[in-house]
Structure 1
Amino acid sequence: MFQMNDPIFRIDGELIESHLIDKFNLRNFSRNLRFSYKKNSEVVNFVGFVIKDSDILVVLPKRYSNKEILNRSDIELLFAVLLTDQIRNPQKYTGPVKEFDSSFPFHAFYSIYSYFKQYGLYKESEKITISGYSGKISWKDTIKKSANIISEGNLIYLPLYVQETEDKHVFLSNCMAFAISFTLRTFPYFVQGKEPVEKFNHFDFWNNRAYVVNRLKKIHTEVFKDTHKRLVKDLIDFFSNCPEGGSISIKHYNFELVWESMVEEFLNGFFTGVNETGLHFSQKRHVNTPYKFNKAKYNVDKVHSQNRLEPDHYYLNNEVQFIFDAKYYFEVKGLNHKQVAYQTLLKKMATKTHNALILPTDTENRTSIHFDLKEEYYDNEEDRVKIFEYYLNMKGVMENYVK
């Protein structure tokens, strides 16, 4: 079994030592690091993992609790969040700017492993007919393919065609077993599962990868069931993109996108309302959510259509609107003018407007006031602008997201 050293944990946006920068070759891509003028030093600029030989660097999100001992469960949680967000929100991962980078084909692996859990290793066989005289005669093929001979008044078909079962599963089974075992052994911190009982043979998959991929492509044209075609396609993806060794990375360069997804999941599952003290949430997930939040878009400028308002998390009915924005910050600095503009420009959409910034914390969930307009600056209560800050525990939100 492959053994890894104890993981090294760091936090997105925090200082990272120069020896770790060199150890994990973080300067090989400019987005891995950024210079912080506040800290007067380089800081980590991604969330995820870098594996080099037997060492692993784990970069957790901002405000992830580091007051407790971090262990394997934290690695598994982060990996599950990154994978879950890609599956649920594939539209966020398209476009010219690549926010997520993985040098390992985990999507292909999980699809292969899902097939394995449901069906086991591939064991499909096919019936073929060959000319011969030993076996079960296939009269359909014999009549269709054989010559008709009249002998002493009897019609004889020659040659006879007999039916045999030819197993086609050995190569695909070996490919599946290798992909599953290799991944489970290489990523013991990330992926939990059981290796196939049947062991693949000693074929050198790495040095014969071109042959493996070409043979899989040929097999893809020979199988007909959708589940089998998908399996072969995933195996092609795995062997085409799996790195043989060296450095393996799984990095998200804009974790704010994931934070937005996690916040919306939490709002739709637990939010109950707002009063003068702030936002309120239930202890248990709603069976039927009373509020359904979505990203909104309002074209408010009749001259420049590109000047749109786009609140991250928005809910509207005839009486009330909630305008919430997820902010992936260590701390709030100064007034968030965008939230003031949201409420000012959209106040006529409902009788009552509630406004909040939602931020991560490594402590308990809590509410504070971000902005409350003085009475002398408005005449009617509906013109009052009050913005809350609601702090959600980062680890708790991540655990909720992957359940």
Structure 2
Amino acid sequence: MQRVQLDYRDVDFTNSEKIISLLSQIKSSLFKDIHRRLIDDLITFFRHENRGNKQIQVKIYQFNLIWEDMANVYLNNYFLKVDENEELVFDSLSNKKNNFTKGKFELDSRREKLPTYRIEPDYYFNDGKYRYIFDAKYYNQIDKLDYKQISYYFLLQHIDNEKNDELIISNALILPTSGPQLKKVHFDLDRVFNRIEEFRIIEYYLNMKEIVLNYLRYFSNN
């Protein structure tokens, strides 16, 4: 697994008291136990860290979950639209607030009687005209077809559409990169297999440093 390419040179890890104070502020705004336990562990670390010439190394073994959460905050705060070129458009000055949430859809009609299968795209948002079905990937490149994302589209294309309007559906994977934001076509279904409409999955690579800094700012201001 490749190292996370995050520039942390501007963080003063020697000022433990300031770090502990900021962590305590962040904890007061959190509600999930898993996040509060993480903050408690970080506070304990900085209270008891050994001082000297040793390097400080913070290792995260579940980056996939952290990336999913950080990207969700970024999408809800800054995402504006998917433009005509299928590019993700963000605006840090916009007052628009989105409601991307983890979708949970029970698929089997027997669900009232017994436990059945469901799908859970990481980011699902329907604003009445556009439907966004995004899924987080924590690695920095994809070399296999994401069958799960294909199923999300075809299983959800008629959900949340009581008026039977033609919703514009964006189907994408969200990945980290140490470089600038970029887009790649992950999959473009041959019209031989789907003559009704065009179906594509896009890979969107978001700058990891920007996502992390936004995440820290968000919790320090809330």
Q: Judge same fold: TM > 0.5, yes or no.
A: yes
Amino acid in the other structure paired with 2:99: K
Would you say the 8 A contact 1:367–1:390 is kept in 2? yes
- Do structure 1's residue 329 and structure 2's residue 123 form an aligned pair? no
Q: What SS does the corresponding residue of 1:328 show, helix, strand or coil?
A: coil
| Structure 1 residues 72-117: Cα deviation after superposition (integer angstroms, max 9, x where no partner) | 53869xx89xx558963624459xxx989937526xx8xxxxxxxx
- Do structure 1's residue 88 and structure 2's residue 21 form an aligned pair? no
Cα distance in 1 between the residues matched to 2:137 and 2:27: 17
Would you say the 8 A contact 2:88–2:204 is kept in 1? no
Change (3 A) 1:104 1:368: same
Would you say the 8 A contact 1:99–1:254 is kept in 2? no
- Do structure 1's residue 102 and structure 2's residue 44 form an aligned pair? no
Where does 1:174-193 land on structure 2 (aligned, <5 Å)?
Answer: 183=47
Question: 1:347 aligned to 149, 157, 161, which one?
Answer: 157
Structure 1: which 5+ runs fail to align? 1-12, 15-60, 110-182, 189-247
Match of 1:359 in 2: 175
Cα distance in 2 between the residues matched to 1:283 and 1:345: 31
1:306 positional shift = 3.7
Change (3 A) 1:322 1:74: farther
Match of 2:127 in 1: 317
Change (3 A) 1:185 1:327: closer
Match of 2:216 in 1: 402
- Do structure 1's residue 297 and structure 2's residue 104 form an aligned pair? yes
Cα distance in 2 between the residues matched to 1:99 and 1:184: 16
Match of 2:195 in 1: 379
1:344 positional shift = 0.7
| Structure 1 residues 36-76: Cα deviation after superposition (integer angstroms, max 9, x where no partner) | xxxxxxxxxxxxxxxxxxxxxxxxx63x257xxx6253869
Match of 1:198 in 2: none
| Structure 1 residues 372-391: Cα deviation after superposition (integer angstroms, max 9, x where no partner) | 1111222222xx32111100
| Structure 1 residues 116-151: Cα deviation after superposition (integer angstroms, max 9, x where no partner) | xxxxxxxxxxxxxxxxxxxxxxxxxxxxxxxxxxxx
Match of 2:96 in 1: 288
Cα distance in 1 between the residues matched to 2:48 and 2:35: 26
Amino acid in the other structure paired with 1:90: K
Cα distance in 1 between the residues matched to 2:150 and 2:195: 17
Q: TM-score scaled by structure 2?
A: 0.73
Q: What SS does the corresponding residue of 1:73 show, helix, strand or coil?
A: coil
1:256 positional shift = 1.2
Q: TM-score scaled by structure 1?
A: 0.43
Structure 2: which 5+ runs fail to align? 162-166, 218-222
1:358 positional shift = 0.4
Q: Which has the larger radius of gyration?
A: 1
Question: 1:307 aligned to 111, 117, 130, which one?
Answer: 117
Would you say the 8 A contact 2:73–2:215 is kept in 1? yes
How many matched pairs? Answer: 198
Would you say the 8 A contact 2:79–2:91 is kept in 1? no
| Structure 1 residues 253-303: Cα deviation after superposition (integer angstroms, max 9, x where no partner) | 2111111111011111111111342232234243232x3211110001234
The structure whose residues are more often helix, as a share, is: 1
Q: What SS does the corresponding residue of 1:294 show, helix, strand or coil?
A: coil
Cα distance in 2 between the residues matched to 1:314 and 1:187: 45
Q: What SS does the corresponding residue of 2:133 show, helix, strand or coil?
A: strand
Cα distance in 2 between the residues matched to 1:264 and 1:306: 27
What RMSD over aligned residues (CA atoms) do the two structures have, in Å?
3.6
